[in-house]
Structure 1
Amino acid sequence: MSESEIPGVTVVVPVRNEAGNIAPLVDEIEAAMRAGGPFEVIYVDDGSSDATGAELERLEATRPWLRHLTHVRSCGKSAAVRNGVKAARASIIATLDGDGQNDPVAIPRMVAELRDAGPHCGLVAAQRLGRQDTAFKRLQSKVANVVREAFLDDGTRDTNCGLKCFPRQVYLDLPFFDGLHRFLPALVRRDGYAISLIDVVDRPRLSGVSNYGFFDRLWVGISDLAGASWLIRRRKKIPELVGSPPRAV
């Protein structure tokens, strides 16, 4: 292990305009993670126009395990997650949304599930119970999940839950595109890994309002689904190499 690497877990939290949710969620993450060994938390501020950046700087001053990255303009959730994973120093990554709806108490259980499953498992993903969104948002999610499952057969009813845990290198080996975070189960399975699913209880937002609306995501989601489907169809299994063992020179 190099000096830049750490044992344990890196928690990556993408945020945009979530100033009111930063402090309470940071405290919850610390409470969930502190008994489980070394950890770090990386917030990725995706071009916020509120006090999100200032709040993160304030909290960093007293929490050496906390750091944050900033996009000078909003690049989307997938880019924020990817940049957080690239900056991570642990080999195991956990992600969750920054609005407080994902309870960090689930992270240690997900990490244990990933470790116990062994190297054949590439992803532990949470599925929400008791969704706290509006009836319209629950309906659109239900329709989107039915359509996605029909195209991708990814084996999960709730791919959009932000709570996920995976080996860092498995994630970085995936083809990157805007919207990747919505298709992790399908793409991890595409690369030959098993996925594990756990149920978690959804919570109301701590404060503020969602940064994403129905029409913001509708047409982008359709094109992303077509792209993910194409990637899966075009995947070819690379055969194992057979050859002579290395010789001393």
Structure 2
Amino acid sequence: MTIIVPIYNEIDNLDRVEKTFLEYLAQSPTKSQVLFVDDGSRDGSFEKISKICEHPDFHFIKFRQNRGLSTAIKAGIDHANTELIGYIDADLQTTPFDFDKLLGEINTCDAVIGYRAKRKDTLSKKIQSRIANAIRRKLIDDGVIDTGCPLKVLRTDKVKKIPFFDGMHRFIPALLKLEGGEIKQMEVQHFERIAGQSKFNIFNRSIKPLQDAFAYRWMRSRYIRYEIEQTDI
């Protein structure tokens, strides 16, 4: 598994990220590597990442400038060459140790998506996320409990086929379903952010997801699907 970790100005978290992933990789039965995607950080994060990546199980991609979370995830997927892809945020509000829980179900589906039943966020963040999730479910009816949960395990061959656009990180399960993928959902642990600053606000938690939901509805109505019955190629 390649574990994608997008990084944008997370210097205060990176010592803990390194320690936590070294512990996880040492005990996990699944052979994994970590791929940091530095999204144009300006706080010294990349200098720290480059030192972490002296370890053979850690690798990096560095953007020339900030391009956003969806682009960082896409770059990680584009460069993954393993059967499975994991995704987790650098704030460690979820834990890589829960990957093993999700991996236990991946043989029966195309993606296992975590959901945060006991969130440790501020009240305002909880309200914003609930509004965004409610709007998304109403508009696209994808059946996903918590599409913003930053802990996922995906089959690489499936996720490489889905269309990408800015904001697609909110719609990975829905986009996989467009490709005929099967999704499972499992409860995962959630923790308070103890370092660094959240990159989300009322605009990119509520207003932007509403715009993206309409974009997804438009794309879904025009999505190309076909099955070949015969060919002589």
TM-score > 0.5 by shorter chain: yes
Superposed displacement of residue 224, structure 1: 1.0
Structure 1 residue 137 corresponds to structure 2 residue 105: no
Aligned to 2:43: 50
How far did 1:212 drift? 2.0
Alignment partners' CA distance in 2, 1:157 and 1:232: 20
Q: Which has the larger radius of gyration?
A: 1
2:142 corresponding residue in structure 1: 154
| 2:104 alignment partner, SS class | helix
Alignment correspondent of 1:5: none
5+ residue gaps, structure 2: none
Matching residue of 2:228: 240
Q: 1:22 aligns with which of 14, 25, 47?
A: 14
Alpha-carbon distance in structure 1 between the residues aligned to 2:201 and 2:57? 33
Q: Secondary structure at the match of 2:48?
A: helix
TM-score (norm 2): 0.94
Aligned to 1:33: 25
Q: Report the counterpart of residue 89 of structure 1 in structure 2.
A: 81
Q: CA deviation at 1:77?
A: 0.4
Q: Tell me the residue number matched to 1:180.
A: 168
Q: Secondary structure at the match of 1:36?
A: coil
Q: Is the 8 A contact 1:32 1:107 kept in 2?
A: no
So what's the TM-score if we normalise by structure 1?
0.88
Report the counterpart of residue 209 of structure 2 in structure 1. Answer: 221
Q: In structure 2, how many angstroms separate the alpha carbons of the residues matched to 1:170 and 1:210?
A: 30
- Secondary structure class of the residue paired with 1:223: helix
- Indicate the residue corresponding to 2:57 in structure 1: 65
- Deviation readout 1:66-94 (Å, 9 max, x if unpaired): 01111121101010011011112212000
* C-alpha distance in structure 2 between counterparts of 1:183 and 1:216, whole Å: 14
Letter in 2 for 1:22: L
Shift of 1:111: 2.0
How far 1:130 moved relative to its partner? 1.6
Whether the 8 Å contact between 2:85 and 2:155 is mirrored in structure 1 is: yes
Alpha carbons of structure 1 residues 72 and 17: separation in structure 2 relative to 1, 3 Å: same
Hey, what's the Cα distance between the residues in 2 that align with 1:90 and 1:20?
A: 29
- Per-residue CA deviation, residues 164-223 of structure 1 (Å, 9 max, x unaligned), is 111112111111100111011111111111100000121011301102211245432222
Structure 1 gaps of 5+ residues are: 1-8
Offset of residue 18 of structure 1: 0.4
1:100 aligns with 2:81: no
Residue 158 of structure 2 corresponds to residue 170 of structure 1: yes
**In 2, distance between residues paired with 1:129 and 1:25?**
23
Per the alignment, do residues 145 and 37 of structure 1 end up closer, same or farther by CA in structure 2, a change over 3 Å counting? closer
Which digits, 9 at most, give the CA deviation of each residue in 1:82-130, with x for residues without a partner? 1011112212000001111011111122123112x0xxx2211000022
AA partner of residue 14 (structure 2) = I
In 2, distance between residues paired with 1:236 and 1:69?
32
1:126 to 104, 114, 119: 114
Distance 2:21 2:228 in 1: 41
Distance in structure 2 (CA, Å) of the matches to 1:201 and 1:39: 21
Q: Which stretches of structure 1, 4 residues or more, deviate above 3 A after TM superposition?
A: 216-219
